[in-house]
Amino acid sequence: MSNLDVLRNLTENLPSLGTLLEKKEKGFVEYSVKYGTCFGIKLLWDNSIAVQKAFMSKGTVLPDHVHDLEKEILIVFKGNLVINKENYTTNLSAGELSEILPGESHSMFASTDTWLIAITIPAEEGYPNGR
């Protein structure tokens, strides 16, 4: 089984998007964005690492922001994500990842409905701090 298949299996039994948004079950974090929908579901959370399964609807824009102390690793397993960093733009599709270093300014745009795994080291609520 490929790594991409393993990542897809993580969301295989997820409820529908509508159900997730209605229930907002334990571990659900909704992010405030100007356009679209963005939320995360906490998979692992302790002081040293945070792992969440995240969804960004097509057209969602996460404005430019910085994680002062945290390294962020984003792994797309369904859809397409454009990440604008300080000096360049990265287009990610299923199976691809990007590493964002502490203090590195970045923004994101979902060009399709996109599922990803977001890892922050050390743990943090996310963009930024679950707002």
Q: What is the pLDDT of residue 42?
A: 86
Dump pLDDT digits (tens) for 12-54. Answer: 655 555 555 555 566 778 888 878 989 888 888 888 898 999 9
- Number of Cβ within a 10 Å radius of residue 131: 12
List of residues 6+ apart from 98 with CB closer than 8 A: 73, 74, 83, 90, 92
Percentage of residues of the chain with pLDDT beyond 90: 51
pTM over 0.95? The answer is no
What average pLDDT does the segment 103-120 reach? 94
Which class is domain 3-121?
mainly beta
What letter represents residue 123's amino acid?
Answer: A
Q: Delimit the domains of the chain by residue range.
A: 3-121
Query: DSSP letters along the chain, please?
Result: --HHHHHHHHHTTPPPHHHHHHH--TTEEEPP-SSS-EEEEEEEESSS-EEEEEEE-TT-EEEEE--SS-EEEEEEEESEEEEEESS-EEEEETT-EEEE-TT--EEEEESS-EEEEEEEES---STTTT-
What band does 2 get if pLDDT is binned at 50, 70 and 90?
A: low
